[in-house]
Amino acid sequence: METRKKILFISHDCSLTGAPRELLLIVKHLDKTKYEPVVVVGNDGPLRKYFEEHAEVIDQKLFCRGIKYIREIGAAFKRFSLIKRLKPDLVYCNTIMTSKWLLYAKLFDIPTIVHVHELSYVFDSLSSFDRYLIHNYTDLAISASTAVRKYLLTVSALNPASIVVFHESIEIPGTVLPRNSSLSALLRFEEGTVVVGMMGRIARMKGSDLFLDVAKKIKESLSQSIKVKFIIIGGTPHVEGRFNEWLEDEIAESDIKDDFTITGSKENVDQYLSLVDIFVLPSREDLFPLAILEAMAASKPIVAFAVGGVPEAIGSQAGFLIEPENVDAMKETIIKLINDPDLRNKMGAEARKRVDLDFNIERNIPRIERIIELAIQSGRVK
């Protein structure tokens, strides 16, 4: 029997955000007869218990740039000992934030992958040392969209041949959930109400404030006889807590405070998504968000700003692409869908077909396995 290849996956945390969730799906669906996944996590979170169902999980605090690099030096012995004990066939850094592990991998001549889920918002915060590691110690880079690949080619010295695209992928539920009536009642969404929603962390990059602006404009434009509610399914990381507080104050002082709900972070996002009639993605920057794929899998029509990898996800039939940060155009498009339930249903059905065909993790996991094999082979050749 062929020996399983040990893959050491490095995750910056176990939060409910996109990159850790995508990694969880990869670890879950890998062929365990061929691969033995081990997951190192920098910070704990709600996904940890799910990682533990599919892999050994090891805690190794991930330190940020600046003075905290001193702590990284102090942790170096633990890193060396861990890699020496595990003897992995591949070190797989899930996000550029875990790039410090590239150094430890290369000291032991272990092939490496960096799975890039980021664009300028994160790249701009990297230290020169992180950039050096990524540029020089990456055997293969996986970009989460073609947009990410193009960006990498402009900001890194990576060989174009070493950058492959793997679109984020999700598990597709067998059926579309019906509207959760008890949850709808709990949130006081009356029957006949059109619910316009977004999903994801509350952050400036995600355009949570732009969603509020759009909501205000919609309420100003529509007749009072048309019942519309707005919902943000998600919470905020502690590093953006001030933005969250500011947004909540803005909502509280607005005329639509009674029509606007923020759920906070949820694990059962599918239940909340079942309430949404029109899904909105107002991001200022987004590489290829899982939220949009989940909305498509739930047969929701999409209205999104055409940024990053978003156009690659939606295509031409699943929704409307709007000029970035054009809240007036977004408002008009959403109103069009509010007034046309048949169009909503048609676009939602197309969205479901597209995500199942192109972004289904069960269909796409063989490609990740081929990429892993390629990285191991190319790393060994070097």
Q: What integer pLDDT is reported at residue 67 of this predicted model?
A: 46
Judge contact between 43 and 13, C-beta under 8 A. yes
DSSP 47-76: THHHHTTTSEEEE-PPP-SGGGHHHHHHHH
> Which range marks the domain in which residue 238 is found?
181-358
Distance CA 275, CA 273 (A): 5
Domain assignment of residue 116, yes or no = yes
Residues 233 and 369 in one domain: no
Domain assignment of residue 47, yes or no = yes
CA-to-CA dists, residue 266 to 247, 252, 269, 275, angstroms: 19, 22, 6, 14
Residues 135 and 270 in one domain: no
Domain assignment of residue 258, yes or no = yes
Residues 147 and 255 in one domain: no
Q: What integer pLDDT is reported at residue 242 of this predicted model?
A: 85
Residues 262 and 227 in one domain: yes
Residues 20 and 164 in one domain: yes
| Rounded average pLDDT per 10-residue block, the chain, 382 residues | 88 92 98 97 94 96 61 79 94 94 94 95 87 94 96 92 95 94 95 95 93 96 92 78 88 94 91 97 95 97 97 92 98 97 97 96 97 86 50
Residues 132 and 164 in one domain: yes
CA-to-CA dists, residue 112 to 59, 104, 168, 174, 309, angstroms: 20, 10, 20, 35, 24
Residues 300 and 207 in one domain: yes
Q: What integer pLDDT is reported at residue 26 of this predicted model?
A: 98
Distance CA 230, CA 218 (A): 10
Half-sphere exposure of 223 (CA within 13 A, CB side): 4
Domain assignment of residue 174, yes or no = no
Domain assignment of residue 176, yes or no = no
Residues 154 and 11 in one domain: yes
Domains in the chain, number = 2
CA-to-CA dists, residue 235 to 190, 212, 261, 283, angstroms: 24, 15, 11, 15
Domain assignment of residue 311, yes or no = yes
Q: By C-alpha distance, which of 3, 81, 68, 73 is closest to 40?
A: 81
- We report the CATH number of the domain holding residue 284 as 3.40.50.2000
Residues 202 and 319 in one domain: yes
Q: What integer pLDDT is reported at residue 321 of this predicted model?
A: 97
- pTM summary value: 0.92
Domain assignment of residue 175, yes or no = no
Q: What integer pLDDT is reported at residue 128 of this predicted model?
A: 87
DSSP 115-161: EE---HHHHTT--HHHHHHHHHH-SEEEESSHHHHHHHHHH----GG
Residues 247 and 141 in one domain: no
Q: For 184-228, how does the pLDDT look when each residue is reduced to its tens digit (9 = 90+)?
A: 999 999 999 999 999 998 999 999 999 999 999 999 999 888 999
For 78, other C-beta atoms within 10 Å of its C-beta total 12
Residues 195 and 61 in one domain: no
Residues 15 and 164 in one domain: yes
